[in-house]
Structure 1
């Protein structure tokens, strides 16, 4: 399995006592599979995504990526797993305002010490239809263009897993549809495992599998959410 969890829980301590966000989550995602996680706000889906991506740690249970237990790793080691195996796309794009589109896409490859960072970034920006916008800064780009830059950036590390958190949440329906089509096309081209949190049922139905979160529990696994 590319991703596997066993009895994963997440608790936080509050002034009112312990709050349980996730209850004993068991999950298995195969290499190359596309999976949508849906559910109401506060259901725990974004928390689960953070645990699967190694951005947060579970209170108990195990999260494994390619049979490597993230709970056995320190933050530096988890960061290396993310750098080597994971790409991210967020609702709010998270581009660096002072960098151009080209520089934003190049950055992860440069940090990894890759000599082909610029060539790869140019190729990816061409794939997402932004070859004419390389030197533009985020504030000079539309929301859809910024998300396409973010998609290019996510793929520059040739990740085995792509985590997407509401990737079309800040886009209008027409722009969102364009970004959706691009995201799935590139994911297929690169053979990436896609794990996506979304409120958009239409988007979720395009995935191989839909997981439904409810009050911190994985209630259902079904092929659609029509």
Structure 2
């Protein structure tokens, strides 16, 4: 296998995806072709219901697409079962969600430690502490999610996403639940960590300012891509 540094992070060819409804098959994505370079930042924009989050989930291997090819670091997702996709995500992928998805029974430090602890990494605590310091939360490491503001929770989620040094980070509306001040702070952190670690960033957003900071903007309209 080639070294991942020489590969596209993601290559999509002739992707179609449909779901079964009471009225028959509904086409969500149609004829998607897309290539994302290693280290690139790409914003996926479009109206609600256009297929943005569906595409993000398929690219990350969270769901199986109907037709076509998705290659994540040269691994064809359509040839992998659910377990195989999970292993690939563990190797390459980080996530940030609009609703944070922090575990309420764990402190900020424990939430950030978790991905590396599950891998048996003995440096999990040191790395988590370093990342929480980078996102300005070194004074909140022992606090639980319920004790943190929305902006603070999202900063913990960012630290957790970067804890395992993912090659590619998928972010679904990462500023959607935040006020403008916290949204701007989260944007800055995303791009700062993206540049420091060389992480490929793929973000679904309705925020035009966030989209404009990415290297490229890709618009989805009725399940079809149009590059801005």
TM-score by length of 2: 0.96
Tell me how far 1:181 sits from its aligned partner. 0.6
Residue 6 of structure 1, CA deviation: 0.6
CA distance in 2, matches of 1:113, 1:152: 18
The alignment covers a number of residue pairs equal to: 221
Partner of 1:17: 24
- In the alignment, what sits opposite 1:8? 15
1:158 shift after superposition: 0.5
Residues 1:167 and 2:174 aligned together: yes
Q: Which residue of 2 aligns with 1:221?
A: 227
C-alpha distance in structure 2 between counterparts of 1:117 and 1:135, whole Å = 15
Select which of 198, 215, 221 maps to 1:208: 215
* Unpaired runs of at least 5, structure 1: none
Aligned to 2:3: none
Q: Aligned Cα RMSD in Å?
A: 0.6
Residue 188 of structure 1: aligned partner = 195
Shift of 1:108: 0.6
- Does residue 69 of the first structure (1) align with residue 67 of the second (2)? no
Shift of 1:174: 1.0
Displacement after TM superposition at 1:96 (Å): 0.3
Alignment of 1:21-60 (within 5 A): 21-60=28-67
Distance 1:40 1:211 in 2: 12
1:146-201 CA-partner distances (Å, limit 9, x unpaired): 00000000001100000000000000011100111111111110000000000011
Cα deviation code 1:13-32 (max 9, x no counterpart): 11111100000110000000
Cα distance in 2 between the residues matched to 1:94 and 1:15: 31
The equivalent residue for 1:85 is 92
1:67: Cα distance to partner?
1.2
Query: Which residue is equivalent to 2:158?
Result: 151
